[in-house]
Each structure stands twice: as C-alpha cells, then as structure tokens.
C-alpha cells in the first residue's frame, strides 16, 4: 500500500479541488479500501466526504424524494417513507451485501462502485479495464458477466441502486468543478457502455452529492433478483419495474435489468410495449423479448436470458399489487 | 459396556463449556495471542502457475523499514508448480510494513507452460506439471467377478456421468501460528487439529528436541482436515522467529486460504450399475478421474486427499470393475477434508443407484434397503422414511407440477470412526474441585465439554466443579482430531482416570463411595497434597463404524434454476451419545457443509492465467444462515455400542441426497455439482444455443474417461509431494 494523506472536505467545491492530485473520495470505503488493499488503487490523497453538509438526509418533497449521497444503504432500506413511495429502491438497498456492509456503504458509493469482475479484481491480471489489451472474461470464466456491451470489457454494472434508480427515472446531482450538474441515470453510466476502462461516466474529480427520485401519485415499483445464495451475494440478474396503474393499465412504466450490461439495461421499445397495457405475464413476456433482443448468449452467460425473462415477468406482474 | 445406564450428564443436552467465552470474545484464538515485541510475518507467493525460478533476492526487502527477518523457502533454483506457491517470507514490526516489503523481493523467473483444468491436463499434449512425467496416473483396474457377463445378464442397467468440484476448506479461522523461540525452547500457539503432531513436526523441521517444543491451541476456528500439521506457513513462522530473534505471528489471509492450504479433490465419474429383476445389484463399473492438485500420482486411498475414492462405495454388487485416475494440474494441493473420498464417492454412486431405481420402477428407499449390506443403515432407512413421510412425498421424477417443482432424495454413508490412544490426568483438590488435563484439542466438536460431561458423570459431581484444560502438548498425550475419533478416543481415557480417582479416594478417605454427596468429605481428607491420578483409553468403551442416512426435500424454480433445500432429515448412528447438543451441532455443521458442496462451493480456475478466480468468500460461496433448510436429526441412541464419532459421516450423504432430490423434482439429472442456476437451466434445455455453459461437456469428459481406460495399468507411483507440507 502506498502512503497517502487524508483530508476531510467541508464543502463539495473543496472536495473536488482536493481530490485532483491523484486522490479518491472516501465515504463508506467499502469498495475503495478493498481496491487499495488489493493494489488496484494507489491514491495519494483520500478526501473524506462524509462531513459534507446536507448529504446524510433523505428529504421527502411533494413530487420527489431527495437522497443524500452519504445516506447509508441500511438507512435507505429502513426508511419508512422510502419504503412506501419507492419500494423497489428500498428493496434494492436491502439486497446489497451483508448488514455490516449496508451499515457502512453509502448511496453514492453504491452508484460509483467499480467493477466486481474477478479478473479485474486480481492483482496480477492486467485486463482491458486496467489499461491492458484484452478482456480475460471473453472466452474465459464469464458466468457473472454481461449479455450486452458495446466495448471489449464484459464486466457488468452490479450496483443494485443503479437498476432501481434507472427504472424510477431518477437524476443524480454531481459536483463538477465549481458547479453542480444533474445527470440522468443513463448519463451516469453511458461512458461504461462504450469505454472499457470506465466504470461509470464520472471523472475522478466528480462527486455524487445526491439523488433525486420523482414521485407521482399512485406510483408503484418492484425489485426482484436472483443470486446463487439467498443473502450476501451478488445478483446474477436483477430487475426493477416501476410505473403507475390507472384503470388497471400501466402508465409511465419502465423496466430495467441489472448485472447484464455495463449500464442499467433499459430498452425504450420494451417500455413502450407495456405502456397502457395490463401488468400481465403475457405483456411482460413481450417486453422481455424486446429487452433481450440483442443479448449475446456467449459461452457461460446465456443462462441469464431465461432468468431475465422470468424476472421481468415477476417484476411487472408485481406492479398489479 | 461399563458405561452407566442411568445418567445425569451423559447423553443429555449440555451447552458448550466455552460457549460464553466464545460469544463474548474472551476466548483466545491464535490470532488473539499478542506477545511483547511480536513481529508480523507474511509470505511471498508465486504469481505464475508454472515457472523456473533462477534466483530470489531478498536484499531490498530486508532493508525496508521495519523488516527484521527475511528467509527463502527454497535455496537455489526451483520450480513453481502453482500460482500461490510459497517463495519467501518476511517478518517485521507491522503487518503493513511486511506486506509493502513483499513487493521489494526480486524474483527472477522464467514462466512456463501450465495447465489448470483437469480435462485439458489428461490430454497427451498437455503441458506437464512435472517435466517428463505424465500428468495422468491411475491404478490398475480392480475387478471382482465376471463383469461383462453380469451386465449382459442384468434385468436393468443404468448409467450416469457426474462431476464434483474442488471444495476448499475455508475454515472461519485462517491457518496461522505465533512462534516464540526462547533459548533452547520453542513455543507455538497454533490453530491446529493436533497439538502433538504440530509439536513433533516443529521439533523435526527446526531440529529441536521434542521435549523442548510446546504447542498450545486453546481455541480454534475449524480445520476440517487441513490443520493436522504446522504447514508451510507454520514452519516459515518458526524460521522467521529464529532468524529475527523475536516472536513472530503469521496468520494467512482469506485469499491465501483459497490457494495453498488444501482442498477436496475434484472428480469426473462415469458409472454403470446393473440389477436383476428383484432389484438386487449385480454389476458395477466406474471410470473416474480427478485432480488432487499439482502432485498427483499417489494412491492415498482417499485417506489424505488423493483423487481416488471408494467405489462402489457402501454397496456390494458381486461383479465390479473400478478404474480411477488422478491428474496433476498447476494448482494447490488437496489434503484430508472431512470424510476424505466419501462425499465424492457418494455423489456418483447414489446418482447411478437412483437412475437404476427409476429404470426398475423401484422406490429409491426400497432399493437401498434391499441392497445395503449394513444392518443399522437398513433400519435407519425404514425409520427415516416414516419420519420424513417419504411415501407421501415421493413422486415419479418430474411429476411435480411446476414452475417450482418439489422433489425428494435419499442417500447413505459409512465411516470407520474409531479412536484410541488418549491419556488423561485428573487432579482432585482438597476443596473438592477437579482439574482434568488432556492433550487433545477442540476442533469445534465440543471436546472440552465432552471431557467435562464424562468426568461429572463418573465422579457424580456438578459440572462447575470440574475445570477442563486441553490444547497443550504438555498435557497427557492425545491424538490429532481427525477421522471422527476424538470423542471416542478421549471419553474412555476420562472414564478410566475417573475410576482410578475413585479407587484412590476410597483408600485415602476410607469412604466406600466417595462420589456425589460424599465427595466433599472425601476430598477434605486429602490435606495439602492434591490427588493426581492418570487414566488411559481402554477397550470396551468406544467403537467404530458409524452409519447414517439422510433424506432431502427441495424446491426447484424451473424458470430461474434456483434450488432451495427445504428440509434435510438425518438419521445417524452414533452409539452412546455423550452430549446431545454438541453431537447434533456437529451434524448440523456436516449437513451445512454438504449443502455447500451440493449447491454453492467450487474453486474456479482460469485456464489462461492459471489463477484461482475465487479465493475469497466474495465468490467462493459458502452457505449462510439464509440458505439453510430445516435440519431434523434422529440420533439412533445405541449406548450398548459405546462412544462413536459422527463428525464425518454426517456430511457424506447430504449432497447426494440433495442432487437426487433435484433429479427427482426435475425428471432430469443436473450432472455437475454445485447445482447452480446456470447448470439447472442448462439441464432443463432452457439456455439458448450458442452458450456453452459451465457444465462439463460430454466430449471433454469422454476424452478423459478414454484416457483413464487406455492408460497402462501401472502400479500407483509415489506422490510427487504432499499437501501443504514443507518439502
């Protein structure tokens, strides 16, 4: 481990200033400390962002819920109003890791976490995500990898919150230099779609401050997943469906899949196929077909397709309540 | 059996004596030992699966801040045969200083071609793990009876091809030691299953007289067969302590646990089984190959981690042909692992037996009762079937309505158990308190409590009068905790010592029966010299040969391939129950380990880098609380047989019963363990074309079986090296 300095930032502006010289933001540290110990990250400075004002609250407004980046996953999972207004998000938070991890891990950290690919995490493997020339998962042991990607790296986005927030059409407020910018979830991850080295779209000196989730009357959502183990395991595939039910029909519906692409996977045609329809298994199957149209069932990954189909069905039918 | 018929403690439910210390954190495990001036040790491991190392330069590391000792594992040039092999070790004033300095060790190595996958390694043109020696070695085919004729005459013949994974021990407490060398005395605090074995091993390797070596292990967090000796890390720890002139603590990391401290060998099995019209087994054939790691080629009979295993396991068809191969790969070596060979053997045999039962239209329980040569197990099948509700639950394979199909399965196990050779010492003080000293260790099975229960029973005392001291090579000798032998080896020695105590106390006190109500008065006569009496294991109080059967009920989500085990019923013979709670606790643990073997656990090797991809518990998946089924235990209490250990038989049939239950639910067998969703979906034909999956492909296994069948029928050759030992 290299020697590093440690500084606590008092404002978002100073945090991004301080991190600029080979620094990393430190919130829960769940991912960062592992990367440092495994020799994957060698920051010169750790900028503690836990003291930033206003980042530890969940604020419920009339039309949205604002969740600070330093809110822990446990807090989110147990938040009474979040559970009521945004059940899929609370369920997604509750499904992360172990209770110890949820007590420490934060919303911002979960969204900005790095690849869990077992080649990327090997100290002595220099893969394309670390600037090497090849993806070892291609033609290798890739059962936990992506069905979709536009770049060489096969590692999927495994953030539970990303999938939920994608379906919930949330926005992320990010400190960029002296300003804040607001990104859609798709924008937060779009670089990872095309660039093998990217885990998300944020530059090293850009910091997630909060998440804004729109809430409409009658909104419903559901998070479903399957993992090899029942607890404390990564999802093989996860799915979130969100929308309203009006007169028995789905409105404003979005379905997102997790752990199948370097981004939360949404397909417009799939959402359109559900719009105005009943949340039935048959309609869900049609949406799943569109969601999975371009899936590449390579080597060990093909089994994720039937799982995704089943999860879409379960998530969409769960909206019927 | 001379054990008492009416008991106050024996066979009752006694909580662990050390339970409160363990749950409050007061219990001292090896990593909790902090000696003044202790240094931290760490090991540099090879990052190549195969290489020729020309030199290792420790100078820069030796000069790094805080480093007090630097040693080599091998002098001169040597070969690396797996990624993770020990190269050098350092000791320094902080863990971080040592980890940082490891990066300064210069290794000049020429990487070489390697192979880590069994089915590749068997090929004639595969890179050789040991140059000039074939990777594949096998025993001569063992044949009994007229095999071809028996198959030809059979009423039904079933075939099955299955595979079992490399399972890692992953004890919750990693391997490790603290060693202090003070003048001519060496003291080790070891996480071990054998304090005496460790003492002897330290003495031999460090060239110390056995009388000058002391090994202690007050508490330890599991070993499962991988902690019988100090291991490479223990001897490096001792050498570092010697070189530094200071005590050294060296605990392995979780990832190191996944590389270099043993495992259960893999297997690929092609089985064929025949029966006559009555359902009596008549013929059996198996071709198998598996890897015990880089050093194959040893016929270890399954006893210490070889790739061979008993076949046709517990059954006795008259005609059998058994041909087993062992293939070397560039990966860490296997070693003894809870019931070595047996779970592997059980998975194949019980699978083909169920396939045969289906062909014959015979109930799986009935075919077992008809063919099991063991009387106790036959009784257990009948008792268990009744309790489990087998007749009501069993349906024809695949007959359960979907999408979540339920199924049931059953399997049996045998274990030799036994155990002898322990000595014990009891000191009775004038105030009536008792100290029992025995040099056994508590592997987690509750040995300390067992000692207290037996002593309290025999002396007629409350348990709190009795202090039990174990885990020290200065106490009267006891063997290693392995082979499910500890309780049967220790209890008779305590019994014997107690008899001797009572005889002595009778003499000293003049009281006819110094037990119970008379105890205090009798002890008061001792005066200032406590009574010290010894005892030793003797015949007639314990025995071997444990049989057990298990029933499993599963639900399989056929949309997503997820297997959920709902219930496991264990019917276990264990002779005289010493302590019901710790006995059942061992069985719970055995079932959980078997569940992991069935559904979750597998060391994943990468063919192109040669690395273990899942050395840590992030992706090496151990079952957790949420994965556990209802575990129901029926102990066949047979006190007339004496004490019999259960630690191993209880883990043997779990995976087989689960795999059979899944096959029963689906109507198709998922051939490869662990039964993960991808493999279940593949077996159901639900995975789209183009995907190859993680299951063993028939074309690849066919090549391996052909290689085993074709290889010259040579005698077993000597092992090229042992598990995890200092060579």
- ipTM for the predicted complex comes to 0.97
- What architecture is domain B116-163+268-362+697-727? 2-Layer Sandwich (3.30)
Closest CA to B321 of B89, B151, B502, B500: B151
In a domain, A209, yes or no: yes
Decide if B687 and A306 are in contact by the 8 Å CB cutoff. yes
- What pairs with residue B568 in β-bridges? B552, B631
Closest CA to B564 of B537, B595, B543: B595
Closest CA to B268 of B347, B321, B337, B354: B347
CA distance B246 to B249: 10
Nearest CB neighbour to B678, from listed A118, A233, A303:
A303
Interface A-B, measured as beta-carbon pairs within 8 A, has a size of 112
Using the Cβ of A307 and the Cβ atoms of chain B, whether some distance falls under 8 Å is answered with: yes
Classify B308 as helix, strand or coil. coil
Decide if B691 and A301 are in contact by the 8 Å CB cutoff. yes
Decide if A306 and B692 are in contact by the 8 Å CB cutoff. no
Asked if A251 and A106 sit in the same domain, the reply is no
Asked if A297 and A184 sit in the same domain, the reply is no
Decide if A307 and B561 are in contact by the 8 Å CB cutoff. yes
Nearest CB neighbour to A306, from listed B604, B676, B686:
B686
In a domain, A290, yes or no: yes
- What pairs with residue B551 in β-bridges? B410, B569
Classify B577 as helix, strand or coil. coil
Nearest CB neighbour to B688, from listed A116, A229, A305:
A305
Classify B542 as helix, strand or coil. strand
Asked if A257 and A189 sit in the same domain, the reply is no
CA distance B502 to B374: 40
Q: Could you tell me the CA-to-CA distances from B587 to A99, B168, B570 in Å, in that order?
A: 28, 19, 8
Looking at residue B141, its pLDDT comes to 85
Contact by Cβ (8 Å): B30, B251: yes
CA distance B693 to B506: 73
Looking at residue B301, its pLDDT comes to 41
**Residue B628: closest C-alpha in chain A:** A230
CA distance B180 to B202: 12
Using the Cβ of A101 and the Cβ atoms of chain B, whether some distance falls under 8 Å is answered with: no
A302, A304, A312, best to mutate vs chain B, most B CBs in 10 Å: A302
Chain A residues in contact with B678 (beta carbon < 8 A): 143, 236, 300, 303
Looking at residue B307, its pLDDT comes to 85
CA distance B13 to B9: 8
Cross-sheet strand order for the sheet of A5-8: A5-8, A45-48, A23-26
Surface-to-core class of residue A187, CB atoms within 10 Å of its CB (0-12 exposed, 13-18 middle, 19+ buried): middle
Asked if A238 and A314 sit in the same domain, the reply is yes
Nearest CB neighbour to A118, from listed B619, B688, B689:
B619
Domain count, chain A: 2
Q: Identify the DSSP state of B57.
A: E
Give every CB contact of residue B286 below 8 A, 6+ residues apart in sequence.
B269, B270, B271, B272, B311, B312, B321, B322, B323, B324, B348
Decide if B608 and A306 are in contact by the 8 Å CB cutoff. no
In a domain, A300, yes or no: yes
CA distance B598 to B288: 19
Closest CA to A27 of A12, A17, A39: A12
Closest CA to A149 of A196, A187, A193, A118: A193
Dihedrals phi, psi of B168, to nearest 5 degrees: -95, 150
Looking at residue B402, its pLDDT comes to 83
Where in the sequence is the domain holding A312, given as residue range(s)?
Answer: 219-318
Contact by Cβ (8 Å): B436, B455: yes
CA distance B371 to B280: 6
Asked if A239 and A253 sit in the same domain, the reply is yes
In a domain, A91, yes or no: yes
Decide if B686 and A141 are in contact by the 8 Å CB cutoff. no
Contact by Cβ (8 Å): B508, B526: yes
CA distance B150 to B281: 10
Distance from the Cα of A128 to chain B's closest Cα (Å) equals 14
CA dihedral angle for residue B66, residue B72, residue B76, residue B82, rounded to 10 degrees = -120
Same fold yes or no, B33-112+171-257 and B116-163+268-362+697-727: yes
**Does the domain spanning B33-112+171-257 belong to CATH 2.40.50.140?**
no
DSSP string, B182-222: ETTEEEEEE--S-HHHHHHHHHHHHT--GGGEEEE-S----
CA distance B578 to B486: 12
Q: How many CB atoms are located within 10 Å of the residue A251 CB?
A: 15
CA dihedral angle for residue B73, residue B75, residue B76, residue B77, rounded to 10 degrees = -30
CA distance B238 to B246: 10
- B34-60 b/e (C-beta count within 10 Å ≥ 16 → b): eeeebbbbbbbbbbbbbbebeebebee
Calculate the CA A205 to chain-centre distance. Answer: 19
DSSP alpha helix (H) spans, B294-341: none
Asked if A93 and A175 sit in the same domain, the reply is yes
In a domain, A94, yes or no: yes
Decide if A303 and B47 are in contact by the 8 Å CB cutoff. no
Using the Cβ of A140 and the Cβ atoms of chain B, whether some distance falls under 8 Å is answered with: yes
Q: How many CB atoms are located within 10 Å of the residue A294 CB?
A: 10
Looking at residue B1, its pLDDT comes to 65
Provide the token pair at B349: 């045999």
Chain B residues in contact with A300 (beta carbon < 8 A): 678, 691-694
Closest CA to A254 of A311, A318, A162, A316: A316
Asked if A62 and A208 sit in the same domain, the reply is yes
Provide the token pair at B86: 């020990």
Give the CATH number, domain containing residue A92.
Answer: 3.30.465.10
Give every CB contact of residue A117 below 8 A, 6+ residues apart in sequence.
A127, A129, A137, A144, A145, A153, A154, A155
Looking at residue B723, its pLDDT comes to 44
- Helix or strand holding residue B41 (H, E): strand B39-45
In a domain, A168, yes or no: yes
- What pairs with residue B40 in β-bridges? B92, B249
**Residue B102: closest C-alpha in chain A:** A1
**Residue B563: closest C-alpha in chain A:** A228
B419-536 CATH: 3.30.365.10
Q: Which of A198, A214, A230 is the last residue of a domain?
A: A214
In a domain, A36, yes or no: no
CA distance A59 to A73: 15
CA contacts within 13 A on the Cβ side of B132: 1
Nearest CB neighbour to B690, from listed A140, A231, A297:
A297
Nearest CB neighbour to A231, from listed B557, B606, B626:
B626
CA distance B439 to B531: 19
Contact by Cβ (8 Å): B440, B490: yes
Q: Which residue stretches of chain B have pLDDT < 70?
A: 1, 297-305, 712-727
Chain B residues in contact with A118 (beta carbon < 8 A): 604, 613-614, 619
pLDDT tens digits, B474-499: 999 999 999 999 999 999 999 999 99
Asked if A246 and A194 sit in the same domain, the reply is no
Residue extents of the structural domains in chain B:
33-112+171-257, 116-163+268-362+697-727, 368-413+546-693, 419-536
Asked if A306 and A188 sit in the same domain, the reply is no
Contact by Cβ (8 Å): A12, A19: no
Contact by Cβ (8 Å): B286, B319: no
**Residue A232: closest C-alpha in chain B:** B624
CA distance B307 to B302: 7
CA distance B707 to B138: 10
Chain B residues in contact with A226 (beta carbon < 8 A): 560, 562, 677
Q: Identify the DSSP state of B470.
A: -
Nearest CB neighbour to A229, from listed B47, B600, B686:
B600
pLDDT tens digits, A125-173: 999 999 999 999 999 999 999 999 999 999 999 999 999 999 999 999 9
- A9-20 b/e (C-beta count within 10 Å ≥ 16 → b): beebeebbbbbe
B255, B559, B685, best to mutate vs chain A, most A CBs in 10 Å: B559
In a domain, A69, yes or no: yes
Decide if B604 and A141 are in contact by the 8 Å CB cutoff. yes
Chain B residues in contact with A309 (beta carbon < 8 A): 559
Q: Which residue stretches of chain A have pLDDT < 50?
A: none
Calculate the CA A272 to chain-centre distance. Answer: 23
Asked if A68 and A84 sit in the same domain, the reply is yes
Using the Cβ of A118 and the Cβ atoms of chain B, whether some distance falls under 8 Å is answered with: yes
Give the per-residue SS3 of chain A: CCCCEEEECCCHHHHHHHCCCCEEEECCCCCHHHHHHCCCCCCCEEEECCCCCCCCCEEECCCEEEEECCCEHHHHHHCHHHHHHCHHHHHHHHCCCCHHHHHHCEHHHHHHCCCCCCCCCCCCCCCHHHCCCCCCCCCCCCCCCCCCCCCCCCCCCCCHHHHHHHHCCCEEEEEECCEEEEEEHHHHHHHHHHCCCCCCCCCCCCEEEEEEEECCCCEEEEEEEEECCCCCCCEEEEEEEEEEEECCEEEEEEEEEECCCCCCECCHHHHHHHCCCCCCHHHHHHHHHHHCCCCCCCECCCCHHHHHHHHHHHHHHHCCC
Cis omega before residue B441 (within 30°)? no
Give the CATH number, domain containing residue A226.
Answer: 3.30.390.50
Could you tell me which CATH class the domain B368-413+546-693 is placed in? Answer: alpha beta
Decide if A125 and B627 are in contact by the 8 Å CB cutoff. no
Decide if A300 and B693 are in contact by the 8 Å CB cutoff. yes
Asked if A101 and A180 sit in the same domain, the reply is yes
Contact by Cβ (8 Å): B189, B33: yes
Asked if A181 and A290 sit in the same domain, the reply is no
């Amino acid at each position: 481990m290299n020697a590093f300095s440690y500084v606590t930032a008092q404002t978002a502006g100073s945090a991004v200033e301080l991190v600029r010289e080979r620094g990393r933001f430190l919130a829960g540290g769940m991912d960062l400390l592992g990367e440092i110990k495994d020799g994957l990250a060698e920051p010169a400075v750790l900028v503690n962002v836990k003291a930033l004002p206003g980042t530890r609250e969940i604020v419920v407004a009339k039309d949205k819920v604002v969740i600070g980046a330093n809110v822990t996953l446990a807090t989110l999972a147990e938040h009474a109003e979040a559970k009521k207004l945004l059940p899929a998000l609370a369920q997604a938070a509750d499904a992360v890791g172990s209770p110890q991890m949820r007590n420490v891990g934060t919303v911002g950290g979960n969204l900005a976490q790095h690849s869990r690919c077992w080649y990327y995490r090997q100290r002595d493997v220099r893969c394309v995500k670390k600037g090497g020339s090849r993806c070892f998962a291609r033609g290798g042991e890739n059962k936990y990898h992506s069905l979709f990607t536009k770049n060489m790296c096969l590692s999927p986005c495994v953030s539970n919150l990303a999938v939920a927030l994608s379906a919930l059409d949330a926005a992320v407020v990010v400190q960029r230099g002296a300003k804040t910018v607001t990104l859609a979830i798709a924008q937060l991850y779009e670089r990872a779609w095309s660039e093998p080295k990217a885990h998300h779209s944020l530059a090293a000196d850009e910091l997630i401050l909060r998440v804004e989730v729109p809430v409409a009357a009658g909104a419903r959502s559901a998070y479903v997943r399957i993992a090899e183990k029942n607890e404390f395991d990564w999802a093989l595939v996860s799915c979130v469906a969100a929308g309203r039910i009006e007169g028995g029909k789905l409105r404003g519906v979005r379905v997102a899949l997790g752990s199948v692409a370097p981004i939360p996977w949404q397909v417009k045609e799939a959402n359109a196929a559900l719009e105005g329809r009943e949340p039935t298994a048959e309609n869900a199957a049609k949406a799943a077909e569109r969601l999975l149209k371009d899936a590449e069932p390579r080597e060990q990954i093909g089994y994720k397709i039937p799982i995704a189909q089943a999860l879409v069905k379960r998530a969409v039918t769960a909206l019927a309540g | 059996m001379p054990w008492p018929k009416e008991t106050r403690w024996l066979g009752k439910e006694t909580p662990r004596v050390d339970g409160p210390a363990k749950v409050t954190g007061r219990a001292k495990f090896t990593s909790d030992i902090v000696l003044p001036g202790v240094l931290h040790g760490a090991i540099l491991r090879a990052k190549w699966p195969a290489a020729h190392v020309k030199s290792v330069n420790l100078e820069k590391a030796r000069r790094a801040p805080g480093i007090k000792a630097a040693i080599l594992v091998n002098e001169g040039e040597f070969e690396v045969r797996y990624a993770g092999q020990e190269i050098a070790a350092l000791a320094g004033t902080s863990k971080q200083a040592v980890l940082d300095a490891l990066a300064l060790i210069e290794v000049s190595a020429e990487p070489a071609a390697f192979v880590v996958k069994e089915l590749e390694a068997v090929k004639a043109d595969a890179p050789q793990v040991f140059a000039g020696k074939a990777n594949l070695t096998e025993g001569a085919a063992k044949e009994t009876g007229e095999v071809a004729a028996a198959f030809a005459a059979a009423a039904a013949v079933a075939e099955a091809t299955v595979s079992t994974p490399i399972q890692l021990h992953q004890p919750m407490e990693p391997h490790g030691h603290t060693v202090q060398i003070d003048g001519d005395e060496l003291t080790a605090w070891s996480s071990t299953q054998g304090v005496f074995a460790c003492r002897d091993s330290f003495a031999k390797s460090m060239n110390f007289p056995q009388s000058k070596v002391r090994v202690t292990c007050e508490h330890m967090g599991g070993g499962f067969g991988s902690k019988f000796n100090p291991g490479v890390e223990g001897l490096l720890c001792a050498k570092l302590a010697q070189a530094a002139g200071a005590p050294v603590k060296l605990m392995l990391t979780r990832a190191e646990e996944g590389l270099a401290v043993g495992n259960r060998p893999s297997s690929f099995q092609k089985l064929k089984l025949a029966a006559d019209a009555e359902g009596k087994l008549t013929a059996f054939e198996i071709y198998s190959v598996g890897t015990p790691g880089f050093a194959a080629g040893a016929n270890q009979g399954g006893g210490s981690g070889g790739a061979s295993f008993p076949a046709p396991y517990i059954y006795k068809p008259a005609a059998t042909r058994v041909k087993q191969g062992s293939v070397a790969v560039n990966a860490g070596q296997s070693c003894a692992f809870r019931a070595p060979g047996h779970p592997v053997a059980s998975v194949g045999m019980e699978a083909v037996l169920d396939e045969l039962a289906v062909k014959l239209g015979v109930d799986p329980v009935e075919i077992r009762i008809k063919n099991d040569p063991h009387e106790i197990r036959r009784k257990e099948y009948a008792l268990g079937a009744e309790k489990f509700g087998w007749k009501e639950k069993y349906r024809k394979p695949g007959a359960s309505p979907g999408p979540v199909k339920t199924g049931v399965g059953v399997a049996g196990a045998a274990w030799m158990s036994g155990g002898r050779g322990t000595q014990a010492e009891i000191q009775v003080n004038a105030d009536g308190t008792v100290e029992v000293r025995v040099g056994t260790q508590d592997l987690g099975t509750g040995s300390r409590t067992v000692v207290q229960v037996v002593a309290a029973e025999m002396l007629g005392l409350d348990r709190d009068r009795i202090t039990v001291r174990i885990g020290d090579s200065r106490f009267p000798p006891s063997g290693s905790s392995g082979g499910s032998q500890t309780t049967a080896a220790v209890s008779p020695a305590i019994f014997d010592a107690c008899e001797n105590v009572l005889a002595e106390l009778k003499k000293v006190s003049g009281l006819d029966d110094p037990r119970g109500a008379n105890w205090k008065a009798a002890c008061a006569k001792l005066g200032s010299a406590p009574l010290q009496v010894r005892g030793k294991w003797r015949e007639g109080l314990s025995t071997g040969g444990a049989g057990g059967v298990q029933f499993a009920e599963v639900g399989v989500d056929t949309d997503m391939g997820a297997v959920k085990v709902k219930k496991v019923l264990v019917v276990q013979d264990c002779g005289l129950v010493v302590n019901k709670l710790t006995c059942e606790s061992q069985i719970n643990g055995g079932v959980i380990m078997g569940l992991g073997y069935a559904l979750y656990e597998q060391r994943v090797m990468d063919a192109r880098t040669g690395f273990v991809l899942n050395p840590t518990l992030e992706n090496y998946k151990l079952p957790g609380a949420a994965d556990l089924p209802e575990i129901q235990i029926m102990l066949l209490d047979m006190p007339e047989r004496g004490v019999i250990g259960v630690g191993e038989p209880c883990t043997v049939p779990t995976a087989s019963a689960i795999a059979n239950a899944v096959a029963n639910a689906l109507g198709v067998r998922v051939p490869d363990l662990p039964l993960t969703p991808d493999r279940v979906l593949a077996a159901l034909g639900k995975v789209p074309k183009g995907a190859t999956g993680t299951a063993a492909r028939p074309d690849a296994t066919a090549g391996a079986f052909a290689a085993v069948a074709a290889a010259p029928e040579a005698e077993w050759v000597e092992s090229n090296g042992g598990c995890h030992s200092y060579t």
